[in-house]
């Protein structure tokens, strides 16, 4: 039975939810206070239902304790206010009481049914399984193609792909959604895309409902020299692009470890997208490694103030030509949005600014675990972002030049 965890202060609603889950054949545990969460095994939770009036940093704490399940916000109604709260918290959906268990069941990752690998003990972790399959019979790592035989700590190592960091000054602006949209469109253009999620919320994995063998916490334990097959085997495959989900530790990576993590991606993929966490030390290390930066903001007054401050910091690391500002979730008839856009124009931002409208159909795709395609205006805005990034490698292998010429010609 799949385990659902409900955080709800109202015990009457708890009992009703537990009864509904029992009728549906689901295992639901209800918690009414934060102290009662200590004995809960977070990695075993398949879906988190978050009620009202819980601390804003609770989800971050649970992620650090091993929670990797998608989170759904439970409200008394499905009004716009509840939707905005869910977006701010990083939830994938909003539901109201009484809970529809058949709908919630769709968010639970299916149990993987496969034949056990008889060549490995059952106690082996996914990481150990990947390593064992990639070892030679004598136990040593397999010899690699000379193209990939470059020391990982070499700062001048030839990077095939362009490294793009998706950044913001605050959370809840849609960074993960923009990252997924860019990855999908690039993959459809024939570009190989690898995505690294450095945000502890783990939204990229949650919204796509995919299980991960490895995360950023243990990825660097793989061999320093990996062939493309080993690298791709250790990642989550989504719509022809590959994802390395975030780990449990907020600041578990130092700049040196991040470089060792990024370099095999940059050799194996044409484009590397890095989804970051706002105001994290490792975020600025990622910005330092990046070729380009996509700065995501929303058109609110407070967001504009934070953007101006953060944009000046980013300009010390990257020239304005290497930064693309994406204003996300713009509503046509909201006065505050028009005011923020006007102030942004008057601020004299030297980078390219792309306007991306709010798309309720896109949010419904998130709620139903469908492909993140977006409406035509959203797709056009995403293409504008990609074009503004000028994703043409500086050093291009001959065997891949035709693909890149085709991509550039289609713009």
108 versus 313: which is more confidently predicted? 313
Give me the percent of the chain exceeding a pLDDT of 70: 74
pLDDT mean over 110-131: 47
Question: 305 falls in which pLDDT band (50, 70, 90)?
Answer: confident
For residues 53 and 182, state if they share a domain. Answer: no
Residue 101 has pLDDT above 80, yes or no: yes
Helix (H, G, I), strand (E, B) or coil at 13: helix
Alpha-carbon gap, residue 348 to 86, rounded angstroms: 33
Neighbour tally for 16: CB within 10 Å:
16
CA distance 290 to 71: 30
- Using DSSP, state whether 293 is helix, strand or coil: strand
Dist CA 94 CA 179 (whole Å): 22
The CATH number assigned to the domain holding 206 equals 3.40.50.300
Counting runs of H as helices and runs of E as strands, what totals does the chain give? 16, 13
Q: Residue 49's domain spans which residues? A: 3-105
**Average predicted confidence (pLDDT) for the chain:** 77
Residue 256 reports pLDDT greater than 60: yes
pLDDT, position 226: 61
- Look at residue 171 and tell me if it is in a domain: yes
Claim to verify: residue 299 and residue 381 sit in the same structural domain: yes
Last residue of a domain, one of 89, 105, 121: 105
The residue from 105, 138, 170 where one domain ends is 105
Q: Of 105, 135, 168, which closes a domain?
A: 105
Mean pLDDT of 59-69: 83
Range from 126-135, 210-219, 394-403 carrying the lowest mean pLDDT? 394-403
Rounded to whole angstroms, the Cα distance separating 242 from 390 reads 21
Residue 264 belongs to a domain: yes
277 in Cβ contact with 250 (< 8 Å): yes
Whether 289 has a pLDDT exceeding 70, the answer reads yes
Q: Are residues 284 and 375 in the same domain?
A: yes
Number of structural domains in the chain: 2
Per-residue pLDDT at 146? 33
Per-residue model confidence (pLDDT) at position 337 = 92
Residues 25 and 95 in one domain: yes
- Top-confidence range, 23-27, 28-32, 128-132, 182-186: 182-186
pTM above 0.85, yes or no: no
| Domain assignment of residue 138, yes or no | no
Q: What is the pLDDT of residue 149?
A: 35
pLDDT at residue number 172 = 85
DSSP structure string for 232-249: HHTSEEETTEEEE---S-
259 and 354 inside one domain: yes
Which of 344 and 87 is assigned the larger pLDDT?
A: 344
Give the tens place of pLDDT for each residue, 212-252. Answer: 667 777 676 665 556 677 778 778 888 889 999 887 654 55
* CA–CA dist 4, 90 (Å, integer): 18
pLDDT band at 144 (very low <50, low <70, confident <90, very high): very low
Determine, yes or no, domain membership for 50. Answer: yes
d(C-alpha 226, C-alpha 122), whole Å: 25
Give residue 132's pLDDT: 54
CATH number of the domain at 31, please. Answer: 3.40.50.2300
Report helix, strand or coil for 30.
Answer: strand
Give the best-scoring range by mean pLDDT among 113-122, 360-369, 381-390. Answer: 381-390
User: Would you say residue 398 has pLDDT above 70?
Assistant: no
């Amino acid at each position: 039975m799949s385990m659902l965890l409900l955080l709800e202060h109202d015990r009457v609603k708890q009992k009703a939810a537990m009864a509904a889950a029992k009728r549906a054949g689901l295992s639901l545990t209800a918690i009414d206070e934060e102290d009662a969460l200590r004995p809960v095994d977070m990695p075993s939770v398949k879906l988190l239902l978050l009620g009202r009036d819980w601390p804003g940093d609770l989800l971050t704490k649970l992620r650090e304790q091993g929670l990797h399940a998608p989170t759904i916000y439970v409200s008394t109604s499905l009004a716009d206010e509840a939707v905005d709260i869910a977006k701010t918290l990083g939830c994938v959906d909003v539901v109201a009481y009484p809970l529809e268990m058949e709908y919630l069941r769709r968010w639970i990752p299916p149990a993987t049914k496969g034949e056990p690998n008889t060549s490995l003990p059952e106690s082996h972790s996914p990481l150990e399984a990947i390593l064992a399959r990639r070892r030679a019979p004598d136990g040593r790592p397999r010899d690699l193609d000379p193209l990939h035989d470059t020391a990982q700590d070499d700062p001048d190592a030839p990077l095939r792909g362009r490294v793009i960091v998706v950044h913001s000054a605050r959370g809840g602006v849609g960074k993960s959604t923009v990252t997924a949209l860019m990855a999908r469109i690039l993959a459809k253009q024939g570009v190989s895309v690898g995505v690294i999620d450095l945000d502890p919320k783990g939204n990229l994995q949650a919204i796509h409902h995919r299980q991960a063998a490895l995360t950023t916490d243990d990825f660097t334990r793989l061999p320093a020299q990996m062939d493309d097959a080993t690298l791709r085997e250790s990642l989550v495959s989504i719509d022809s692009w590959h994802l390395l989900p975030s780990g449990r530790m907020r600041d578990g990576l130092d700049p040196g470890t991040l470089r060792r993590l990024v370099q095999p991606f940059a050799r194996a993929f044409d484009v590397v997208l890095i989804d970051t966490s706002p105001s994290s030390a490792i975020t600025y290390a990622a910005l330092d490694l990046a070729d380009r930066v996509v700065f995501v903001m929303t058109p609110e007054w407070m967001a504009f103030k934070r953007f101006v401050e953060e944009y000046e910091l980013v300009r010390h690391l990257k020239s304005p030509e290497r930064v693309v500002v994406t204003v996300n979730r713009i509503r046509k008839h909201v006065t505050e949005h028009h005011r923020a856009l006007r102030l942004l124009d008057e601020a004299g931002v030297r980078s390219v600014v792309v306007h991306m409208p709010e798309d309720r159909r896109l949010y419904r795709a998130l709620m139903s675990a469908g492909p993140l395609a977006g409406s035509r205006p959203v797709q056009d805005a995403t293409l504008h972002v990609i074009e503004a990034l000028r994703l043409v490698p500086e050093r291009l292998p001959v065997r891949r030049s035709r693909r890149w010429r085709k991509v550039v010609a289609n713009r």
